[in-house]
Amino acid sequence: MRNVMQIERRVSLFSNGRNQALRIPRDFKLPGQEATMRKEDNRLIVEPVAKPTLLAVLAMLYALDEALPDIENPVPAEVDL
């Protein structure tokens, strides 16, 4: 179970064109450039978009349809250290 410290602050809502907006205080700043928002009953939940993991990025790659070329000399030469 996560130990979450809850901080609460009252903020002002305002209109921005046809949208309702709020200014996020500095101490609530989210990382990154994007967030997801969802509504659960009367709560509005905003969370930062997590960067994809390496496994998620690799899962998006297509498999190669062509065979890889043979390697003529696969054993490296010995080196004295």
**pLDDT for 30-64, tens place per residue?**
998 899 999 999 999 999 998 889 999 999 999 88
Q: Is the pLDDT confidence value at 28 over 80?
A: yes
Q: Is the pLDDT confidence value at 6 over 80?
A: no
Neighbours of 39 (CB within 10 A): 8
Q: Is 24 among the domain residues?
A: yes
Task: State the pTM of this model.
Answer: 0.54
The token pair at 70 is: 């043979």
Q: Is 76 among the domain residues?
A: no
Give residue 29's pLDDT. Answer: 92
Q: What is the domain range of residue 28? A: 13-59
CA gap 64, 81 in Å, rounded: 38
Q: Is 72 among the domain residues?
A: no
> For all residues of the chain together, what is the average pLDDT?
88
Q: Is 23 among the domain residues?
A: yes
The token pair at 8 is: 């609460």
Helix (H) or strand (E) holding 58: helix 54-59
